[in-house]
Amino acid sequence: MPESGDPDLAVSYHPCMAFPENIHLFCRVVDNFGDIGVCWRLARQLVADHQTGVTLWVDDLASFQKICSGIDPQAVQQRQEGVVVRRWDASFGQPRAADVADVVIEAFGCALPHSYIAAMAARSPKPVWINLEYLSAESWIEDCHAMQSLYPSLPLVKYFFFPGFSARTGGLMRENGLLERRSAFQNDPPAMSSFLTGIGAQVPMPACRMSLFCYPDAPAGSLFDTLQADPRPSVCFVPQGVAQEAVHTFLQQPAEAGARATRGGLTVQVLPFLDQPDYDRLLWSCDVNFVRGEDSLVRAQWAARPFVWHIYPQEEAAHHVKLDALLDRYTAGMDQDTAQAARAAWQAWNRRSDMGKCWGQFRNQLPRLASHMAHWTEQLKQYSDLASNLIQFIRKIG
Ligand code: TRH
């Protein structure tokens, strides 16, 4: 960590200024893109919607660059969209109390450097310390959200902030004006076509448009076989690196951006891995989105198009409980056939089952699923968004 004279790092506390003036957000990339995906989105939103200074500490800038092409993976410090991005590596050093921000967010229990924790304890006033937790639709989240824990050996308190699907949780990330921008885009076919052309997506007409983002064990091959045999045409856009084996088998060529083949009713096309805002637009452009993990799941909901979720696998199949919890919330209020179609498709996708057994029913229900998505999105929109809830919470305890 550089000297505390570093102007981007040193933080002074001005009680008369809006609180929090400055946030340090720490992100360790465990695997995949969800850790940095969530942190990058949150950092940008705190700057853009809440005018807060944010420094994002990231231990893996190469992964970050995949979802934000402007990132220089070698830079020790850089600025992106108003966020100061710092490389978090072994040379972190010995920060002083003055280097610590008003608020310190530890994403997903990523374990802050001991030297930084010591500096937090030495700071007066103490920073607000938040652990941002993983998203779940389970009801126990409501009881644990905003709970605190005392640090064993230092005078510090850590608060647990849980994203979720109800007013008694930290909510979902939704930046200002997102739904308006999404609606405008979806109601502007020329804008959508020019976006798709710009990312190299060729759309055969008419075709059911799908995007595919899943873990390697998803039954993508079974999905492709099913869609190939379906006389109703489909096109499946797959970002490079996703479902590689199934894509390679279908294309009979390496699954590289631009590769494309049509067999029977299905066209599969590999796209480049997109920057986050373009990935959003891809979701907005498709009739069905296959998403995974946490962040793309949330974005699929704001896209308001039918979707199938591939949940991040956990030990002892604990993820099935989480999957069911979201299915219960999402299908509440659907008619029985539509709910059954959604459940069967999600379960088959997550249990590596034959997609042929559920696809016909799912596809027949697409119009109803699409109209349910409009209600579901409206319902979720009633709750305050995660960044606003976080700022409110910080002000309450700060
Ligand atoms: O990459 P993921 O599988 O991340 C997962 C989950 O977050 C999981 O909960 C966590 O425990 C694990 O990582 C470590 O899926 P997720 O959460 O959807 O994150 C992907 C990010 O990548 C998201 O921000 C969207 C972004 N993305 C792009 O920017 N461009 C793309 O082309 C694609 C496909 C994704």
Q: Is 6 within a domain?
A: no
Are 160 and 229 found together in one domain?
A: no
Residues 353 and 234 occupy one common structural domain: yes
Question: Which residues, 6 or more positions from 236, have their beta carbon under 8 angstroms from its beta carbon?
Answer: 210, 211, 212, 223, 224, 227, 266, 267, 268, 269
Segment 278-306 shows an average pLDDT of 98
**CATH code assigned at 133:** 3.40.50
Which of 386, 359, 291, 277 minimizes the C-alpha distance to 330?
A: 291
Ligand 1 contacts CB of residue 250 (under 6 A): no
Pocket test for ligand 1, best of 30, 33, 45 (most atoms within 8 A of CB): 33
Percent pLDDT > 70 in the chain is 96
- Counted domains in the chain: 2
Among 18, 119, 17, 10, which Cα is nearest to 55's?
10
Query: Which atom of ligand 1 approaches the CA of 282 most closely?
Result: 32
Are residues 268 and 244 part of one domain? yes
Sequential DSSP letters for 338-379: HHHHHHHHHHHHHTT--THHHHHHHHHTHHHHHHHHHHHHHH
Please name the residue whose Cα sits nearest to atom 7 of ligand 1: 34
* Same domain (yes/no): 234, 369: yes
Instruction: Indicate whether 211 and 300 sit together in one domain.
Output: yes
212 and 112 both lie in a single domain = no
Q: Is the CB of 39 under 6 A from ligand 1?
A: no
30 lines ligand 1 (CB under 6 A): yes
Give residue 199 CA to ligand 1 midpoint distance, Å: 19
Residues 259 and 321 in one domain: yes
Q: How confident is the model at residue 1 (pLDDT cuts 50, 70, 90)?
A: low
SS (H, E, C) 306-349: CEEEECCCCHHHCHHHHHHHHHHHHHCCCCHHHHHHHHHHHHHH
Query: Candidates 296, 308, 319: which one to mutate for ligand 1, based on the most atoms within 8 Å of Cβ?
Result: 296
Does residue 4 belong to any structural domain of this protein?
A: no
In this structure, the answer to whether residues 214 and 355 fall within a common structural domain is: yes
The answer to whether position 17 is within a domain reads no
* Residue range 101-145, pLDDT digits in tens: 999 999 999 999 999 999 999 999 999 999 999 999 999 999 999
Residue 304 belongs to domain with CATH number: 3.40.50.2000
Residue 292, ligand 1, Cβ within 6 A: yes
In Å, how far are 67, 185, 196, 283 from 278, measured between CA atoms? 9, 12, 10, 9
Q: Which residues are catalytic?
A: 35, 294
The pLDDT of residue 246 is: 98
Q: Are residues 392 and 310 in the same domain?
A: no
**CB atoms near residue 213 (< 10 Å):** 26
Question: Quick one: which atom of ligand 1 is closest to the CA of 211?
Answer: 34
170 shares its domain with 268: no
The response to whether residue 312 sits with its C-beta less than 6 Å from ligand 1 reads yes
Q: pLDDT tens, 325-366?
A: 999 999 999 999 999 999 999 999 999 999 999 999 999 999
Residue 219 lies in a domain: yes
Calculate what percentage of the chain has a pLDDT beyond 90.
Answer: 91
Asked whether residue 334 is assigned to any structural domain, the reply reads yes
Ligand 1: which atom is nearest the Cα of residue 31? 14
At 17, the pLDDT band (50, 70, 90 cuts) reads: low
What is the pTM assigned to this prediction? Answer: 0.95
Report CA(384)–ligand 1 centroid distance (Å). 23
The pLDDT score that the predictor gives to residue 19 is 86
* Structural domain boundaries, residue 209: 178-380
Indicate which residue's Cα is closest to atom 30 of ligand 1: 274
